């Protein structure tokens, strides 16, 4: 799905927003971080994790030169990818709506993404990107590690995933 920024923003703002996930059983809080994928070609993706359910979504890849861009440029890319993730129903067929809140493990990135979101007209608290605590950060690392090992295994041995 490729949308121009203004359409992406209006589509994101049109999504419903609730404290709990669509199932109603877990919090609608999402952790995100930029993660490096050491495959050929190497690159970076936006990793999203629902901290309560363990649901993972990956968006990207980020543009190859984004690693060397300023914080403001990287934050703009992340803000757009966050919205794209939810407008695209996290890759599913059913809308998941907007998150109740999102957090990251990088305080500087949290502030910069928040400023981008605010500048795009995103409010209702979503412009206030939180910073995860140590336990949430460790959980994110653990889940990313499992996800990446599975991805590498599938890429290295595609017959085993059939």
What's the pLDDT tens digit per position in 32-91?
999 999 888 888 999 999 999 999 999 989 988 888 899 999 999 999 999 999 999 998
Q: Which residues contact 7 (CB under 8 A, 6 or more apart)?
A: none
pLDDT score for 40:
82
What mean pLDDT comes out for the span 14-40? 91
The length of the chain, given as a count of residues: 162
Peptide bond into 41 cis (omega under 30): yes
On the question of pLDDT at 146 being above 60, the answer is yes
Question: How many of the other CB atoms lie within 10 Å of CB of 104?
Answer: 25
DSSP letters spanning the chain: ----HHHHHHHHHHS-B-SB-TTSSSB-EEEEEEEEE-SSSPEEEEEEEETTT--EEEE-PPPGGGGGS-HHHHHHHHHHHHHHHHHTGGGSSS---B-SEEEES-HHHHHHHHHHHHHTT--TTTTS-EE--HHHHHHHHHHHHHHHHHHHHHHH-GGGG-
pLDDT score for 162:
53
On the question of pLDDT at 118 being above 90, the answer is yes
The model's confidence at residue 153, banded by pLDDT at 50, 70 and 90, is confident
pLDDT score for 1:
58
Q: C-alpha distances in angstroms, 16 versus 22, 72, 147?
A: 10, 28, 29
On the question of pLDDT at 108 being above 70, the answer is yes
Q: How far apart are CA 1 and CA 116, in angstroms?
A: 21
pLDDT score for 161:
55
Percent of the chain with pLDDT over 90: 72
pLDDT score for 145:
96
Distance of alpha carbon 40 from its chain centroid, rounded?
22
On the question of pLDDT at 160 being above 90, the answer is no
Average of per-residue pLDDT values in the chain: 92
Torsion angle of C-alpha atoms 116, 56, 89, 127, degrees rounded to 10:
-20
């Amino acid at each position: 799905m490729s949308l121009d920024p203004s359409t992406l923003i209006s589509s994101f703002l049109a999504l419903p927003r609730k404290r709990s996930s669509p199932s109603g059983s877990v919090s609608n809080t999402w952790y995100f971080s930029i993660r490096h994928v050491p495959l050929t070609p190497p690159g970076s993706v936006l990793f999203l994790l629902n901290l309560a359910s363990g649901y993972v979504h990956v968006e990207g890849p980020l543009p190859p030169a984004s690693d060397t861009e300023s914080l403001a440029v990287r934050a703009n890319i992340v803000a757009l990818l966050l919205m794209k993730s939810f407008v695209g129903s996290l890759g599913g067929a059913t809308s998941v709506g907007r998150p109740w809140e999102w957090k990251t493990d990088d305080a500087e990135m949290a502030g910069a993404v928040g400023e981008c979101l605010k500048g795009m007209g995103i409010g209702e608290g979503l412009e206030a990107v939180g910073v995860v605590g140590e336990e949430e950060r460790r959980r994110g690392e653990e889940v990313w590690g499992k996800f990446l090992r599975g991805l590498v295994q599938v890429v290295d041995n595609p017959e085993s995933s059939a």
